[in-house]
Amino acid sequence: MRHAAIDWRTLLGTLAAVALAASGALYWWRRRPRDPEEIERRRRAHLNQVGRIVEGQIIEILEAPPPPAETHRGSGRFRKRQAVQSADRSNGSRKLVFYSYSISGVTYETAQDVTGLEERACLDRVIAGQPASVKYDPANPSNSILVAEDWSGLH
């Protein structure tokens, strides 16, 4: 009799663990995808906090066409959303600043989408070939920014 009670307790604990794991998996699967702009804002904030400054150079300023509209895959309840960045309210274009910088003899060329940060970036005064300060992550030097919400490396 005592042996049967132990088996039921073990079985009940196992069932509770399986139910908890299944509900956690369902929550993870059904959760809303993160907003790409929020991810980018957090990246800029992190780099602004831990980044080191190095001199770089503006390569090009470009207005890119708007991204495609949000698409849905699947149908009904189990439709998955493909998140896209919301475009500038005026004409839908994105403003990209291409720049380069060197760290320990390695030259990096990259771009930053400065849409929404135009006031901080002062893009009307920025030209190709102009020097700029770049903040980069010492742990990952290819991760960098020119402009953040409360910092600008554009001179």
Quick one: 50 and 4 in the same domain?
no
Quick one: 108 and 147 in the same domain?
yes
Quick one: 23 and 64 in the same domain?
no
Quick one: 23 and 94 in the same domain?
no
Quick one: 131 and 57 in the same domain?
yes
pLDDT in tens, 112-139: 999 989 888 788 888 999 999 999 999 9
Quick one: 84 and 70 in the same domain?
yes
Structure tokens at 49: 């906090």
Residue 114 is part of a domain; what is its CATH number?
Answer: 2.40.50
Provide the CA 146 distance to its chain's centre, in angstroms. 15
Domain that holds residue 21: 1-31
What residue type is 25 in one-letter code?
A
pLDDT in tens, 43-60: 999 999 999 999 999 999
Q: What is the pTM of this model?
A: 0.66
**pLDDT at residue 152 tops 80:** yes
CA proximity to 146, closest of 155, 131, 127, 133: 133
